Amino acid sequence: MISANQLKNAFNGQLNINPGDLKTLNCENCNNDKFDQVFIIKKIPALLSPTGKQILLPIPVFECTECHHVSKEMFPEELEKNATPAKTN
Ligand SMILES: [Zn+2]
């Protein structure tokens, strides 16, 4: 058995994380712990685009496999102004 410090050194000072110790994220709506990756597509207008043409920018978010709710914790805050990924049942 090696100490936590030795483990830490073995990983070049990077923190060694045991996934079993980590908190599982549950859907804030139905408490389900499985998620599908889906995309929100943001439009970059031509004026702001480096190419001068509108660009579609897919942003991955995770929705609950049961109720398709996108928990706030997984949804980038800066997207909240315009997008409403969460469905109200
Ligand atoms: Zn859910």
Query: What is the full DSSP assignment across 48-70?
Result: T-TTSS-EEEEEEEEEETTT---
Ligand 1 centre and the CA of 27: distance in Å? 5
16 or 51: which carries more pLDDT confidence?
51
The rounded Å distance from CA 41 to ligand 1 centre is 22
Instruction: Please name the residue that has the structure tokens 């920018």.
Output: 57
Delimit the domains of the chain by residue range: 24-89
User: Which residues have CB less than 5 Å away from ligand 1 (the ion)?
Assistant: 27, 29-30, 32, 64, 66-67, 69
Q: What is the pLDDT of residues 36-50, one digit of tens each?
A: 999 989 999 999 999
Distance between Cα 30 and ligand 1 center (Å): 4
**What is the pTM (predicted TM-score) of this model?**
0.57
* Residue 42 token pair: 């943001």
Mean pLDDT computed over 4-26: 73
Based on the number of CB atoms within 10 Å of its own CB, is 64 exposed (0-12), middle (13-18) or buried (19 or more)? buried
How many angstroms from the chain centroid is the CA of residue 72?
9
